[in-house]
Amino acid sequence: RGSRSKNYRWWLRIVLYTIFLLCGQSVATILGRLYFDKGGSSKWLATLAQLGGFPILIPCYFILLRKSSIANNIIDSNPPSFLKLLTLVYVPLGLLVAGSAFLFSVGLQYLPVSTVTLISASQLAFNALFSYFLNSQKFTPCIINSLVLLTISSVLLVANNHTEKPAGVSKGQYASGFICTIGGAAVYGLALASQQLAFRKLLKGETFKVILDVIVFQSLVASCTIAVGLFASGDWKGLKREMEGYALGKISYVMTVVWTAISWQVFAIGTVGLIFEVSSLYSIAIGTVGLPIVPVLAVFVFHDKMDGIKGMSLVLAIWGFISYVYQHYLDHQKPKIENRIASEISEGCTLGEVIHSDNRA
């Protein structure tokens, strides 16, 4: 009964983290598109909005820090020092996340959303490659089927894109946006694989505080990096003018940036939580499921057209997601089956010994 209860709690956490990831990603992407569509032009601010919302987690962080200090001492009597974690985990992860977020902001500024969606699906391939070397990721038929379906799902969105490069975007800007988005996908895949490696090797305490540690400190490093870029580039000087010229007004400008930041933090909790509970490849696969959700939301927010190809894309994404979840269900059931077989063999051996003993008597 205790094992079954633990299993249910594990699946409940997986469902909760999945909801956080999908909702956070979808809302943040819509708001990011809204920012650029209505007059926003600062890729540094757009990047900072992806990373700078972590202070809203700090009250929760200190509450958990206070409650778990004794438990952590019991779980791990010799935890790694903060300086070691800062040097080997938080700073490298923060720089990777900052680089990925900035590259995607460039892509979102110069490319159609459907093109960014296609390239974002390549995160799966990059993460699978890095996870193979860093985390000994195994590929089963169900996982391969899921990756193929999720990738095709995003490819269909681009096949449905009948527009050329956005108005006012030069060929050079379009090419740089394409290259930057590919680079962002590669760096993001490496960041998630590195997070999984950090959880396996250094961050071994199985608490939600460990997840918040990663989110808060890597976001702090990433935000400081982007803030330096914002001021060093002089981009901050035009933010007041940008806010005054925003199509929806000043208040909407501020609210767009603030809720973008909050949404990305919800997404971060879901992402890191799934890496902690399952794997980086699973986390990124769930994220890919959310890519077709954005065009569906755009039908209501931006009055985009919804046709058969977009519907088919969503169906394939759900199919790929179910395939991946089914593989992890099989992985979860495998130890139970092995234990049952071992128990039956043990009982059979015991019964055989009893019969043999009775025959001798």
- Domain assignments of the chain as residue spans, ordered by start: 16-68+79-306, 311-360
Confidence (pLDDT) at 70: 45
Of the listed ranges 197-201, 222-226, 250-254, 261-265, the least confidently predicted one is 197-201
DSSP state of 202: T
Alpha carbons within 13 A on the beta-carbon side of 143: 16
For the chain, the average pLDDT equals 78
Of the listed ranges 14-18, 98-102, 267-271, the least confidently predicted one is 267-271
Kindly indicate the confidence band of residue 96, based on its pLDDT and cuts at 50, 70 and 90: very high
pLDDT tens-digit map of 27-59 = 888 888 788 888 888 889 999 998 888 888 787
Enumerate residues 6+ apart whose C-beta is below 8 A from 304.
295, 298
For the chain, how many helices (H) and strands (E)? 15, 0
Of the listed ranges 4-18, 179-193, 281-295, the least confidently predicted one is 281-295
Q: Write 164-171 long-range contacts (CB < 8 A, 24+).
A: 165/110, 165/111, 165/112, 166/110, 166/111, 166/112, 169/110
On whether the pTM is more than 0.85, the answer is no
